[in-house]
A and B are shown apart, each in its own frame.
Chain A
Amino acid sequence: GENVEQHPSTLSVQEGDSAVIKCTYSDSASNYFPWYKQELGKGPQLIIDIRSNVGEKKDQRIAVTLNKTAKHFSLHITETQPEDSAVYFCAGLYGQNFVFGPGTRLSVLP
């Protein structure tokens, strides 16, 4: 079936610490996995994505890792800042449609 699980549902970290959010996907997911950040009152915005031909991708303080064998992928945010506080969604591509995880509410405490 088409399913994306995401953990944790909420995460609080101190400013400057790292945050890690993990997602697992079911067998039939395709080879493209984006991560979105949603701030209050706004739509989800793409922050990073990964395709299955690579195991890791970095963009400044954000990185995503993909483990195809275990069927999970993770978002890593280093040196967190208050503006990183938001809800983060992972997604898997099933056929022509994305299935989104339930989201992680990240709070970065000053």
Chain B
Amino acid sequence: AQKITQTQPGMFVQEKEAVTLDCTYDTSDPSYGLFWYKQPSSGEMIFLIYQGSYDQQNATEGRYSLNFQKARKSANLVISASQLGDSAMYFCAMEYGNKLVFGAGTILRVKS
């Protein structure tokens, strides 16, 4: 079965600096998709970035990029130039059949 592991319960980053949120996954499927979502205190899950297992390049979406290391089964999210509004919970997820399997999440706090 698919499993997502996020080992950092909480992270701090100074405003304007970059931060990496870790995610490792376990699957026996050769084809899979990995997602990152942001959940601010308002509760809504906001889609950030997607990486397909056969994608040749690491995904990027504005200030978000995904450091995808397939052999290590890791899909770390990199946020560049952190902003105060980036303070939120971040979830890594993987598709499994008709559903998403989520990690436990990482709380990110951006300091001014």
User: Are A and B interaction partners?
Assistant: no
- Tell me the B residues contacting A by CB distance below 8 Å: none
